[in-house]
Chain A
Amino acid sequence: MLCTINHGTQFLSFGSPLISYKIFRMCEKDSYMDLENLTIAQASEGLKNKNFSATELVCAFLEQIKKRDKEIHAFLSVSADLAMSQAKMTDEKIAAGQELGELEGIPGAIKDVILIKGVRCTAGSKILENFIAPYDASVIKKLKNAGAVFLGKTNMDEFAMGSSTENSAYGPTRNPRDLERVPGGSSGGSAAAVAADECIFSLGSDTGGSIRQPASFCGVVGLKPTYGAVSRYGLMAMASSLDQIGPFAKTVEDCKTVFDVIKGHDLKDSTSAISAQDVEWKLDIKDLKIGLPKEYFAKGIDGEVERLVRQAIKKLADAGAQVQEISLPHSEYALACYYIIMPSEVSANLARYDGIKYGASATTNDQLLATNLLDVYLQTRGYFFGGEPRRRIMLGTYTLSAGYYEAYYLKAQKVRTKILEDFKKAFEKVDVILTPVSPTPPFKFGEKVDDPIKMYLSDIYTVPVNLAGIPALSMPCGNIGPPAGEAGNLPVGLQIMGKHFSEDLIFKVAKIYEELMDG
């Protein structure tokens, strides 16, 4: 399958040349299977009890990646050397009886928009094809301190722009649940890697739904934290007032474990919350007030998706939770509001990719002829940016330009206030708000990629959360289609929203639902 970028470059979309398989030299056993199914708690237990070593655990995942990633393409680069050296350190700590970190020896994958020092970081774009990160993101520092192991960087829509990972300049990622369908986006690689047992946890970023929607499409758990709960230092910025880094995992417990490690105030991020209250929610299900916004269950939602989401809510109601209908009256304006604010901020944040200090440049590219400074900018950006970044940069440049700023950006900021107020009012009546994550189940490749607005509508239930800066979790709530194991069996996600800094409550509700589902 060939993909065409707007300027006519063609490349093979699968079998990325960036992945290097050094596994056969480092891992000695014939098979490390079964370790790749473990949760964080199980893997930690196994390491402590010396059932297997950290090195063997990494080998299990490297083997799984080797087995599955040629067809899934969740990874843009596999950092086998780094992972093995980290695992070795863990094994030494265990042998010496030293204190272990919360994620000691646990292998994870990182979205290629978060910097790991010394590792290539592309943001899914050709403009950063050979960029080597000169420093660690704060979340990476925290994960390293906790002993986590990094298997590699995952695929994504270019500069986090997209809802399907089809906009990656390195070819799309396939949904492990159905290879003909998208994994969602923009953190498609991170979601797929967890779903395909290629890692125990992963990190993604969410600006308008880019963690929650892929989590829903791939059948895993994903959290977008409260804006400011997790440091953005070392996250390549897309929309600075909306971006947040968050974890993907197979279980609610695992998701919480990773969140607890990466959260916290950071001096290096001036928007990082100072008093991130660790509010512990003493919760009895009978005291839980759930709100269902009527605007989210109106037209446009797939019948089967709605059925499963309502079924999930009914399970919670049957267990004693109080469910009531609420209204978020400005919901219908959220998408338009987002598609002004986000491109505006994007146009500012992507101005730095100019071929001067780092990244691809017209000056060192033989196909381009830059005779003056303006040419360097025009040609570097014109040649190396993909279609969606160009579209959003153009849109954002326009909405911020003289004569249009008030009509668009300022207006959108005022509508944003109204949306925020809707949520504040709602949370006076209810503890959490439950909604679908996506109006449709995972769609097929090519279905939406030619119609930007059709693609944007995928985000209709997720963007209001980013505008308000509240936390929200996506977790599996069932499958539609034929029985499990057959082609066409597709996961559906349930979204749990809470007020600012209520992640603890969200996790508790999610855990209760997870147990009800398994029971």
Chain B
Amino acid sequence: MFDVDHIAKLARLGLSDKEKEKFAKELAAILEFVEKLKEVDTKNVEPTAQVTGLENISRLDEARKDNEQSLKQILENAPEMKDGHIKVKAVFE
């Protein structure tokens, strides 16, 4: 059973009641469509997460000293700033 309220909260999506109703129907139809996969025998089949075959591609965990202009450009997109920090609502109530 598709619990729309629960999923919407997990997805952090604020939906109206009318939307929740609409989604319940649409998503039920889509989920029915993908039920098809049950027909495939996947016993002993390895899952494919990605096709490159690459493993553990990493780089040194070094802080890069970027210039002030770059920093400014990044922070210009922030919705709310205070004292050079991005301002957010209280994380703990």
Contacts and interface: CB of A to CB of B under 8 A. Distances in A.
Nearest to A332: B36
A448 interface: no
B11 A357 contact: no
A385 B15 CA distance: 11
A355 interface: yes
B7 interface: yes
Contacts of A375: 14, 89
A390 B48 contact: no
B70 to A, nearest CB: 7
Nearest to B87: A363
Interface residues of A, number: 72
A381 B2 contact: no
A263 interface: no
Contacts of B45: 414, 417-418
Contacts of B52: 227-228, 271, 273, 469
A4 interface: no
A310 interface: no
A391 B89 contact: no
Interface stretch (A25-33, A70-78, A180-188, A334-342): A334-342
Interface in A489-510: 500
- What is the size category of the interface that chain B forms with chain A? 35 or more
A376 B87 CA distance: 12
Contacts of A357: 77-78, 86
Contact of A390 (B15, B49, B54): B15
A351 B23 CA distance: 19
A452 B59 CA distance: 41
Given A391-B23, A398-B27, A420-B48, A271 B54 contact: yes
Given A336-B36, A413-B47, A417-B47, A354 B77 contact: no
Interface in B16-51: 16, 19, 23, 26-27, 29-31, 33-40, 42, 45-51
Contact of B27 (A6, A227, A330, A391): A391
Nearest to A378: B14
A373 B70 contact: no
B37 A395 contact: no
A372 interface: yes
B12 A469 contact: no
A391 B13 CA distance: 10
Nearest to A468: B51
B88 A356 contact: yes
A479 interface: no
A411 B47 CA distance: 8
B79 interface: yes
Most chain A CB atoms below 10 A, which of B34, B46, B91: B34
A418 B40 contact: yes
Given A132-B77, A339-B33, A361-B79, A373 B54 contact: no
Contact of B13 (A132, A274, A340, A393): A393
Contacts of A398: 2, 7, 27, 31
A385 B8 CA distance: 13
B4 to A, nearest CB: 8
Interface centre among A339, A375, A395, A500 (most CB of B within 10 A): A395
Nearest to B74: A134
B19 A6 contact: yes
A307 B30 CA distance: 31
B83 interface: no
Contact of B50 (A135, A241, A355, A418): A241
A228 B27 CA distance: 32
A146 interface: no
B30 A393 contact: no
6 contacts: A134-B70, A270-B54, A336-B37, A357-B78, A361-B80, A452-B26
